Amino acid sequence: MIEWVPPGLILILGALLIPFLKGKIRQGYMLLLPIVAFTSLLNMSEGTGFVTSFLGYGLVFGKVDKLSLAFGYVFVIMTFIGILYALHVKNKGEHFSAVLYAGSALGVVFSGDFLTLFVFWELMAFSSVFLIWYGGNKKSYDAGFRYLLVHVFGGLVLLAGIIIRLVNTGSIEFGHIDFGSLDSYLILIGFMINAAVPPLHAWLSDAYPEASITGAVFLSAFTTKTAVYVLLRAFSGVEILIWFGAIMAVFGVVYAVLENDIRRLLAYHIISQVGYMVAGVGMGTLLAVNGSVAHAFSHILYKGLLFMGAGAVIHMTGRRKLTELGGLYRTMPLTLGLYMIGAFAISAFPLFSGFVSKSMVVSAAAHEHLAVIWLMLTLASAGTFLSIGLKLPYFTFFAKDTGIKAKEPPVNMLLAMGLAAFLNILIGVYPAVLYNILPNPVDYIPYTPEHVVWSLQILLFTALGFFLLLNKLGSEPTISVDTDWFYRKGSKVFMWFVEKPLSTAAQVPVNILQRVADYLIWVGKNPTRALFLYAGSAVFKMFGRFPGLPPHASEKLLDEAWKNYPGEPVIKSPIGDSVILVLMFMAVYAIYYFIVA
């Protein structure tokens, strides 16, 4: 008797029916899929399940432990919230892609071997790109192709590492990897690309803002967090990741503060927040690992809420730049309130989810006496509140009214935002609901007087600085140059080089070989006559005439001979041809022997 089915398989197979359903039936069916998947999650017991064999290797579709279950829970919850948010969308293809994307992310989480992981990893990339293309404009198409190229490259790097590891160890089991070998470097790079670790991050800030309004919600939840999961599984304790994570946290905040596009601003904060998780992976302590998992869980909920709030604004106004918005608090107060819950959560305000998860990673850095890392993560937290808790809501909802006629979004969008907001508050008020599902026993108390006061001081002084310098912090319609500039511009230079100089140079030997081939074909029509023609031409050039003939007659005779070539077909003898070929090869060999040998 089968007690449970992998939740990813439920979503992937369930997605196949979506294009054939209509109206309320389709909506109800899509909402039912994550509920069934969640029920399967609740019935899963730790161990391995759904094991099969392929080419002599064991494929594990159900590696179950507290780490995979924690990510599985939040992925299924976010799938339900994302589907609810997108119920008003009529495009069946977009729904199909979103559910398939969520299912493939769950497939990665419960994969127990590298082959299964790689298949779901690539399925995740190819299904998610359609959520970008469904943005429906040229920017979306271009960004989607760039996104796909980056992830195909990352997949190839990952595959190379897997193959080398298979050759070296003879095993495809997915688990902890000893860092230092070539295969470990390649696998780590493949994972880091999906985690958007700088300088391999620009695909995220380039593509996510161009996705469809509902597609961006799904994108914010899965790709980078599956990367965090596999990093936790394979590279926990690799110290270089501490610095990568801290740099990510600060880097994303700096670019977010400079940004004018509201979804691009939020995209940079995905990079920043994932930085906390990557830093926790690098520390590798029990507290740090718990912190990375907890923060990934909280981040999916509050970042999804933030993208839903921004999407509601874009859906109702058609505008996405801070300089084009303002005064919406009058017409969209519910959206504002729900958005601010997400903003407080990501800023780590007490009583919100980010406070009980982010602080675990920061405290882990303090416990390990990583002073510089602790300072970078703390500064990034202040910058987060500055850009998402102050700048974005102020210029979107409270700045000078631009006269936009807007209203609250559809009910399903508000319900989805409300559910995400409720969960962010629930985790913040009652952190045990999150701590109880973490992979390691939790011996951490977030609500100490010292921690609460310290956090509020940072947040309040950040707010004071914002309002004191508000006139100088006005959002300007700027374009931030990121590392994607190199492959945007570099690709044009590369294509010019391929199409012009390289193509021309490559054609030279082809032209030479073509001429040689044409000449051999011409000679082969009548080799004997061709030999006499060349000999006769040499005699004519040397003496100006043939023996016994005047010059004019000699020239006329030579011209007629060239015009009439090849004349009568040569009667070929197979034996004679074979002898000629043997003599030619012997001649070439003799020349090689005397010159080279």
Residues 405, 409: Cα–Cα separation, whole Å: 13
Q: Over 70: is that where the pLDDT of 580 sits?
A: no
pLDDT digits 0-9 by tens, 458-468: 898 888 888 88
Structural domain contains residue 223: no
Structural domain contains residue 263: yes
Structural domain contains residue 501: no
Residues 192, 268: Cα–Cα separation, whole Å: 16
- Listed in sequence order, the residues at least 6 apart from 267 whose beta carbon sits closer than 8 Å to its beta carbon are 204, 205, 208, 209
Using an 8 Å Cβ cutoff, are 257 and 391 in contact? yes
Where is average pLDDT lowest: 88-102, 287-301, 496-510, 568-582?
Answer: 568-582
Q: Over 60: is that where the pLDDT of 571 sits?
A: no
Q: What are the phi and psi torsion angles at 407 (to 5°)?
A: -145, 175
- In the numeric block, the tokens 């007690």 are attached to 3
pLDDT for residue 565: 76
From the list 15, 33, 219, the residue with the least C-alpha distance to 128 is: 219
pLDDT for residue 539: 73
Q: Using 50, 70 and 90 to split pLDDT, how confident is the model at 1?
A: very low
Structural domain contains residue 50: no
Element (H, E) at 59: strand 57-64
Residues 195, 197: Cα–Cα separation, whole Å: 6
In total, how many domains does the chain have?
1
Residues 84, 30: Cα–Cα separation, whole Å: 9
Residues 352, 429: Cα–Cα separation, whole Å: 7
Of the CA atoms within 13 Å of residue 124, those in its CB half-sphere come to: 28
pLDDT for residue 177: 93
**Distance set, CA 214 to CA 73, 102, 224, 226, 314 (Å):** 21, 13, 18, 20, 11
pLDDT digits 0-9 by tens, 336-386: 999 999 999 999 999 999 999 999 999 999 999 999 999 999 999 999 999
Structural domain contains residue 146: no
**b/e map 141-157, b = 16+ CB within 10 Å:** eebbebbbebbeebbeb
Where is average pLDDT lowest: 96-110, 310-324, 474-488?
Answer: 474-488
Two tokens at 221? 């939840």
Residues 253, 384: Cα–Cα separation, whole Å: 6
Two tokens at 204? 């995220």
Strand 57-64 and strand 47-54: the pairing is antiparallel
Tell me which residue range forms the domain holding 360: 236-480
Q: What are the phi and psi torsion angles at 307 (to 5°)?
A: -70, -30
Residues 46, 516: Cα–Cα separation, whole Å: 70
Structural domain contains residue 334: yes
**b/e map 92-127, b = 16+ CB within 10 Å:** eebbbbbbbbbbbbbbbbbbbbbbbbbebbbbbbbb
Instruction: Name 179's bridge partners.
Output: 181
Two tokens at 591? 């020349």
pLDDT digits 0-9 by tens, 440-480: 999 899 999 998 999 999 898 888 888 887 776 655 556 67
- Listed in sequence order, the residues at least 6 apart from 342 whose beta carbon sits closer than 8 Å to its beta carbon are 302, 303, 305, 306, 309, 420, 421, 424
Q: Rounded mean pLDDT of the chain?
A: 88
CA angle, 16 then 35 then 21, to 5°: 35
Neighbours of 350 (CB within 10 A): 19
Residues 224, 113: Cα–Cα separation, whole Å: 20
From the list 295, 302, 267, the residue with the least C-alpha distance to 377 is: 295
Per this entry, what is the length of the chain? 597
pLDDT digits 0-9 by tens, 223-272: 999 999 999 999 999 999 999 999 999 999 999 888 889 999 999 999 99
- Listed in sequence order, the residues at least 6 apart from 346 whose beta carbon sits closer than 8 Å to its beta carbon are 269, 273, 299, 302, 303, 306, 354, 384, 388, 389
Question: Which pTM value belongs to this model?
Answer: 0.83
Average pLDDT, stretch 552-569? 72
Q: Using 50, 70 and 90 to split pLDDT, how confident is the model at 592?
A: low
**b/e map 513-543, b = 16+ CB within 10 Å:** eeeeeeeeeebeebeebbeebeebeeebeee
Q: Using 50, 70 and 90 to split pLDDT, how confident is the model at 577?
A: low
pLDDT for residue 284: 92
Two tokens at 179? 């860092």
Q: What is the CA radius of gyration of the chain?
A: 34
DSSP 394: I
Average pLDDT, stretch 321-347? 92
Using an 8 Å Cβ cutoff, are 299 and 269 in contact? no
Structural domain contains residue 553: no
Structural domain contains residue 495: no
Q: Using 50, 70 and 90 to split pLDDT, how confident is the model at 326?
A: confident
Of 291 and 464, the one with more pLDDT: 291
Where is average pLDDT lowest: 40-49, 324-333, 508-517?
Answer: 508-517
